[in-house]
Chains A and B, each alone.
Chain A
């Protein structure tokens, strides 16, 4: 238990200190994970609701696929994005490898299935209840999607937070495409992995505590955001 007490004290010390490396990692973690989950949300939420509205050929297959992708291994996403962005890869010309943008791209792909699946789940029930009335009223597919998204707002917050949670906790994909460059692409999770490998267990755990506090703050923010007026 001493280790946990040490880590807690160290975490408080670190927060009080002005360690530039720490704050760079905190900002980068937030920047990358918020951006990735936001992009996944903007793309995924309408797709998820669209899947709930009126069946089309192959919808079940798409749903099975999306749900399977919930278990997408980060290291595989990292590898795929690495190969895409590599100088020898199809998008090498963009020179995005080992930059924060590459990390955002990887995490967007990683979290997209989460947003789609959870949004579908949140909106499908509303469609069952109100779908007929919407159809009778002559609402277009796009209009139905937007109405469903408004109705399922609480569920959407959960979808966003699940995506953000996966992104901020993730290390395999971002280390691969970001390169864990100090002061540039070193996130909190990468720093934790690094300190662990250096045997600085208390410091690693302290960084973990700070990371959890960050997630807590974002969760609280999203909660307020999602609350009805």
Chain B
């Protein structure tokens, strides 16, 4: 009897989930916001989205992606608004007719984190170029996002400014991870590697182990400005939205 009941319950359960999924498409009004991962991880949305929803009656569905991917899905019409940080990519996005109304919304600064032991002696330096030069000459492990994110692009600009070609830097100290900020911080903590991170992700990051901020407040670290581009209503495929 128990077996028979379980059988029926299992089948009904499966059928019911199928049915629920079929009707799960919410009837509420919503917009889709493609945002960089670090903004979501900073906890900002938890604070502002309920307020926005109360005022406007519109639900915001946040899809957290890297800047490159967010721009790509925005160009395909899959997001109504973007929150990204790569000025060059944004300008191209708007110039290509993919979006309108680009605005500066906020800024985030970057910090260089590394092991407390600081084998390359960068603590207390005031200059990013000097710090990167010391890391390179000490062959101290450095973890790079390597994912063409806004943070990665900034990091590569800083290496160029320091006159170091990381692609040719031998010795295996420069590791390109191809990962998001959180995964890169996890790896850095495990490798005792230096890495460049935005302050918001760092502030919310729990697995720091021996990592700590070694360099901050460098003028070159505050150049990232976060922007907001709204989808153009002129894109035919977006008109139905």
Contact = CB atoms under 8 A, between A and B. Distances in A.
B186 to A, nearest CB: 6
Contacts of A86: 73, 76-78
A87 B10 contact: no
A181 B204 CA distance: 19
Nearest to B76: A88
B25 interface: yes
Interface stretch (A30-38, A61-69, A133-141): A30-38
Contact of A196 (B32, B186, B189, B238): B186
Interface string B1-32: 01110110111011101101110111000001
Contacts of B3: 224, 227, 229
A71 interface: no
B185 interface: yes
A2 interface: no
Interface residues of A, number: 37
Contacts of A182: 62
B77 A92 contact: yes
Given A100-B24, A225-B7, A225-B10, A197 B76 contact: no
B21 A104 contact: yes
Contacts of A90: none
Interface stretch (B84-92, B150-158, B205-213): B205-213
Given A198-B205, A221-B10, A88 B237 contact: yes
A184 B61 contact: yes
Given A92-B77, A196-B183, A222-B10, A180 B21 contact: no
Contacts of A196: 182-183, 186
Interface in B164-215: 180-183, 185-186, 189, 204-208
Given A39-B18, A87-B76, A199 B186 contact: yes
Nearest to B41: A198
B21 A101 contact: yes
Interface string A79-120: 000000011110011010111110010000000000000000
B236 to A, nearest CB: 10
Contacts of A225: 6-7, 10-11
Task: Kindly name the residue among B4, B21, B208 whose own CB sees the greatest number of chain A CB atoms within 10 A.
Answer: B21
12 contacts: A34-B18, A38-B15, A86-B77, A86-B78, A87-B76, A87-B238, A181-B62, A197-B183, A198-B41, A224-B7, A225-B11, A229-B4
